[in-house]
Amino acid sequence: GQGRASTELVPALAALTGMIGEEVKGYGSLNRVPAEAMANVRNDMYLTSEAIRLLDKQQLLAFDADTRRHVQLFKRQLDDATRYIPLWVKVAVAIALGLGTMVGWRRIVVTVGEKIGKTHLSYAQGASAEMVAMCTIGAADLFGLPVSTTHVLSSGVAGSMVANGSGIQRRTLVNLLMAWVLTLPAAMLLAGGLYWLLNQIL
């Protein structure tokens, strides 16, 4: 729970690894694992991968080079089976983002460029906000942190307005804060409702 490895971790990891092998072997392949059992198998695989990562991070994998290579290969195989995005999800997300941008691009541009600050966005402010957004999103990607590009960019624009002394429109700032707060629960409710509906239909 504290991100530290205990002396029992390696034996427990060995037992869990053997259990995963037996589970998958019993069905013939991972693709043949029934849906009702898949969640447990995937969870065991995920926990095993994370345990190996923790051991490696704390340099507790006191194996020879060949064994270490096999352990890392096993971890990659686990990650390939548990941490992937199906093609249809990528296509669906790309279409949704494209349609959303087609419909709402003008409002986004006007809000970011004209309604955050009390003056229009200058080239220098835009460049500063974009550079901050680039660095922030790059750092978030490096550390695996979930961030919104729109939230990051609008925050950068707001910061450039404050630095320029032009000030921020309070109404827009309140709307942005409300959007930040409500985005997560609203998205959760919509996704949960859509999942329930699709389960009923399919």
Q: How many domains does the chain have?
A: 2
Q: pTM of the prediction?
A: 0.51
pLDDT for residue 1: 46
Q: Is 16 a domain residue?
A: yes
pLDDT of residue 60: 64
Report d(CA 185, CA 115) in Å as an integer: 25
The rounded distance, in Å, linking the Cα atoms of 68 and 171 is 57
Print pLDDT tens along the chain (202 aa). 455 555 666 777 778 888 877 777 777 776 677 766 676 777 888 888 888 887 777 766 666 778 778 888 888 888 887 777 788 888 998 999 899 888 888 887 888 888 888 888 888 988 999 999 999 999 998 888 888 888 888 889 988 988 888 888 888 888 888 888 888 899 899 999 998 998 888 7
How far apart CA 92 and CA 48 sit, in angstroms, is: 31
Q: What is the pLDDT of residue 131?
A: 94
* 135 and 155 part of one domain: yes
Question: Which pLDDT score, from 0 to 100, does residue 61 have?
Answer: 62
Do 182 and 157 lie in one domain? The reply is yes
Does some domain include residue 128?
yes
Determine the Cα–Cα distance for residues 158 and 168; give it in Å rounded to an integer: 7
Do 134 and 62 fall within a single domain?
Answer: no
Residues 42 and 82 sit within 8 Å (Cβ to Cβ): yes
17, 51, 82: which is the final residue of a domain? 82
What pLDDT does residue 7 have? 62
